[in-house]
Amino acid sequence: MPFTLPSEIVVEDVLPTLRVELAAELQRYGLTQQEIADELGVTQAAVSTYVSEDTATDPRIAKHPRTRAAVERVAEGLATDELDGYEALADILDLVRALEDRGPICEIHETRMPEIAGLGCDLCVRGVDPSVRAERAALADVRSAARTLSTTPGMAAFVPNVGSNIGAAPPDAETPTDVAAIPGRIYAVDGRVEVPANPEFGASRHVATVLLAAAAVDPDLRGAVNLATESAFLAAARERGIETMEFDADYEDRERRLRERFADRESAPRVLYHEGAFGIEPITYVLGANAEEAAQYAAELVEEITDA
Cβ atoms of 261 and 205 within 8 Å: the answer is no
Whether the model clears a pTM of 0.85, i.e. scores above it, the answer is no
pLDDT, tens digit, 9 for 90 and up, residues 222-280: 999 999 999 999 999 999 999 999 999 999 999 999 999 999 999 999 999 999 999 99
- Please list the alpha-helical segments (H only) found in 152-244: 205-217, 231-239
Tell me how crowded residue 109 is: count the other CB atoms within 10 A of its CB. 22
Q: Give yes or no: residues 155 and 92 share one domain.
A: no
Give the C-alpha separation, 216 to 219, whole Å: 6
Q: Give yes or no: residues 185 and 41 share one domain.
A: no
Q: Give yes or no: residues 233 and 196 share one domain.
A: yes
**Cβ neighbours of residue 160 closer than 8 Å, sequence gap 6 or more:** 226, 227, 228, 281, 282, 283
The bridge status of strand 271-274 relative to strand 244-246 is: parallel
Full domain range(s) for residue 303: 130-307
Could you say which DSSP state residue 308 is in?
-
pLDDT, tens digit, 9 for 90 and up, residues 90-115: 999 999 988 888 788 888 888 888 87
Q: Give yes or no: residues 118 and 190 share one domain.
A: no
Tell me: pLDDT of 119 over 70. no
Is 1 part of any domain? Answer: no
Q: Please name the amino acid found at residue 56.
A: A
Q: Give yes or no: residues 164 and 234 share one domain.
A: yes
pLDDT, tens digit, 9 for 90 and up, residues 35-89: 999 999 999 999 999 988 777 788 999 999 999 999 999 999 999 999 888 899 9
Q: Give yes or no: residues 143 and 285 share one domain.
A: yes
pLDDT, tens digit, 9 for 90 and up, residues 74-83: 999 999 999 8
Give the C-alpha separation, 217 to 272, whole Å: 15
Is 259 part of any domain? Answer: yes
Q: Give yes or no: residues 150 and 11 share one domain.
A: no
In total, how many domains does the chain have?
Answer: 2
How many angstroms separate the Cα of 51 from the Cα of each of 44, 54, 63, 81, 213? Answer: 11, 8, 17, 22, 65
Is 36 part of any domain? Answer: yes
